[in-house]
Homo-oligomer: A and B are copies of this chain.
Amino acid sequence: MAQQHNNLDLFFYPSSVALVGASSRTGPAALNVLEQMLNSGYQGRIYPVNPRGGVILGLPVHASVTDIAEPVDLAVVATPRTEVPAVVRQCVAKGIKAVLIITQGFADANDRTGQELHREIMAAIAGTQTRLVGPNTIGLVNSLINLHTSFIEFDFRTAPVGLICQSGIFVNAADDFSGGVGIGVDIGNSVDIGFTECLEYLAARPEIKVINIHMEGLREGRDFLAAARRITPHKPVLVLKTGATEEGARAVCSHSGSMAGADDVFTAAFAQSGIIRVDQAARFAGLNRTLTTYRSMRGRRVGLITVSGGAGIMAADAAGTYGLEIANFSPATMAALQEMFPDWMSPGNPADIWPAAMARGYREVLTAALDKMLADDAVDAVLCNTTAYLDPDTDPQNLVGPINEVAARYPHKPTAVWTIGPHKTAYAAKYAGGAVVAYSSPDEAMYCLSRLYYYHSAVKGGISDALNEEQPAANSGFGTVQTILATALRAGRTVLDYEALDILEAYGIPVVRRYLARSREEAASLAGILGYPLVMKIASPDVPHKSDWGGVLLNITSAEQAAQAYQQIEDQIRSRLPEVRMDGIMLQRQAAGSVEVILGARRDPQFGPVLVYGLGGIYTELVRDVSCRVAPVSGAAALAMMKETCSYPILSGARGREAVDIKAVADCLVNLGLLLRDHPEIAEADINPLLVTAAGCLAVDALMVLAGDDDE
């Protein structure tokens, strides 16, 4: 859609709202939007609209939006679906620039009527100043002005959280999922306003400190990533991408570019844009508190204070689960702890303060231990395990105040608390708004701290692993590739094998020396030029698994053998596959690598060109030890791709192996990414294998599929 205006303030901060399709049924569970809106305390003007007219809940009802005398900022539409297009046209006529359609049954419907109504709505706003949220949405919420458009009771709990979702439950149960909300919107079918615009809007709002997104699907992949990349260094963006499992199940298929599934690409794309991907809705609330309470976290090293040895071990386990480290306290901290501890007990991390607390007082020992740990240069954060056995209002051991006091003195080191006991929820509430976050479990605490550290180390201040848009606009091999592709497509060929090597070579990827022979004699003479040993392979667009058809011969060591091999391959193919085209027979120097890797590329429906990397061989696929990135990538990102696979030590020289030329492989990934960026005709590309030695790398076999291939 053309974007006529992008002032989403009309949606989120309207001065007046027309409610089209206002119902006269009221009371609990009546699902009356008007009633909810009135109950919520919104201070703007509200105009109920219903052709039946009359008065609902004390407000006069207009027959149509065009009957409203005053200007209207936002129209909320909840009529039966067949009436919606007419209502939208009336909104346009009235000059309403913000329309939100709650009604279901448009592009989301399975019937023809739904699709037709969808087109009618789009036609109604085309070329106008009117923008749409929805249809098929619970609507929006702005807790800051007590506005919400949901038909369900809404408990406003204001939090500096911006929310974009594709399911109303996140709006209606924001308290549950995100721990409250500031501005939120269910984009529904998002036929006009979608993720990217809402993200940019929330990013610009100073009252919003963190953005939560629930995403089922994404259309504008590249735009969304570009926006996120600009925003995330300044404001954390958390995404719950659902539908992960189903897509993951489809992942394993035969092309190496498909070794990474659709969901893996989302994971990579989010990371490349500084987005923190969450794995469950239940993660949002803790992360929001964490990211809005703590100013930073500068390292992975965690100090643990516990009133129970067992709890300390659980906390240490959780730290390990999320890649945090158990701090090694400095001698000064150890000495300070030993002074408090009974003689028979050596301090450590976790520090079990219980016996010391019994002897010297719980508050004294806990606050002193916390202070010493936070002052220790070897500590980046502290998790205190404390008791919540008594009501915090009457508990003589309520240490919320003292802990907050110590924590506030170390603003760059998070002090986290995990309370145990029946009053844990009441205790958590006491910590709200202070310098400390109270978590429900050590698992939640360590998960959130690990994401906090990730945000401050890898996202804030710039994303090192970003999509590399500063690559040269065109490669010197651009023209060569254009010619090869044009020739192939003119000939109706959409699967390239030997030409694929030429294309790779044109983009600077080292390729094995080779010649195409078109006769026995030519094979013999080209063999002499290449040197031995040689491999010979049928060159044909119609023989995908060449060796299965006798199309490959190895270990050719003389011109005579080369001539014989030519004949043998030709005879095999002619007799077994008489219909196929034969472009000749390829002669290659037989090469060997210390290691073989696979580079793949494909076009993702959301994000465009995607690179996949893995060690060669079937095992890589079985254990799914591959990495992927949205392309193109920088050299650093390519190296990071390689490093995140488990197989990396095989390349870097584990167990006395010879280290191979890792940079050469990274360069190939960079160039393969540029190739796909520059040539949209290439739908898929595989280099399998790329031979790698200490001296460099060499592509010996490659396959490309061009767009338009029906087999793909």
- Which residues in A have some Cβ–Cβ distance to B below 8 Å? 28-29, 31, 81, 104-105, 109-111, 113-114, 152-153, 155, 165-170, 172-173, 175-176, 214, 216, 242-246, 248-249, 280-282, 308-311, 313-314, 316-321, 342-346, 355, 358, 387, 389-390, 394-397, 420-422, 424, 440-441, 443, 615, 618-619, 622-625, 646-647, 649-650, 654-655, 657
A390 and B29: CB pair below 8 A?
yes
Which residues on the B side are within 8 Å of A343 (C-beta)? 111
Q: Which of B214, B310, B441 contacts A280 (CB 8 A)?
A: B441
Q: Are B390 and A28 in contact (CB under 8 A)?
A: yes
The closest CB in chain B to the CB of A186 belongs to B310
Chain B contacts for A624, CB-based, 8 A: 646
CB-based nearest B residue for A624: B646
The answer to whether A167 and B309 touch across the interface, beta carbons within 8 angstroms, is yes
- Given the interface pairs A443-B280, A622-B647, the reply to whether A176 lies near B111 with Cβ below 8 Å is no
In the complex, which residues of chain B have a beta carbon less than 8 angstroms from the beta carbon of A173?
389, 420-422
Which residue from B308, B355, B615, B650 sits with its C-beta under 8 Å from A169? B308
Residues from chain B with a CB closer than 8 A to the CB of A313 are: 167, 216, 242-243
Q: Closest residue of chain B to A138, judged by CB?
A: B308
| Shortest Cβ gap from A660 to chain B (Å) | 14
B residues less than 8 Å from A29 (CB atoms): 390, 395-397
| Residues from chain B with Cβ under 8 Å of A166 in the complex | 310
Report which of B110, B242, B342, B355 forms a contact with A314, defined as CB distance below 8 A: B242
Known: A28-B395, A421-B176, A622-B654. Contact between A249 and B320, CB under 8 A?
A: yes
**Complexed CA–CA distance, A443 and B245 (Å):** 13
Known: A390-B28, A623-B646, A650-B618. A246 touches B441 (CB 8 A): no
The answer on a CB contact under 8 Å between A344 and B105 is yes
A649 to B623, CA, bound (A): 11
How far does the Cβ of A429 sit from chain B's closest Cβ, in whole Å?
14
Nearest CB on B from A496, distance (A)? 23
Q: A246-B316, A246-B320, A650-B622 are in contact. Are A311 and B394 (CB under 8 A)?
A: no
Top 7 closest pairs, chain A to chain B, by CB: A167-B310, A245-B320, A109-B344, A111-B344, A623-B646, A29-B396, A242-B313
A165 closest partner in B (C-beta): B310
> Which listed residue, B109, B110, B421, touches A172 by the CB 8 Å rule?
B421
Note all chain B residues with C-beta closer than 8 A to A81: 344
Q: What is the distance, in angstroms, from A28's C-beta to the closest C-beta of chain B?
A: 6
Q: Which residues of B contact A657 (CB under 8 A)?
A: 618
- The residue of chain B having its C-beta at the shortest distance from the C-beta of A115 within the complex is B344
Structural contact, B420 and A308, CB atoms closer than 8 A: no
* Cβ of A498 to closest chain B Cβ, rounded Å: 24
How long is the Cα–Cα vector from A657 to B507 in the complex, in angstroms? 35
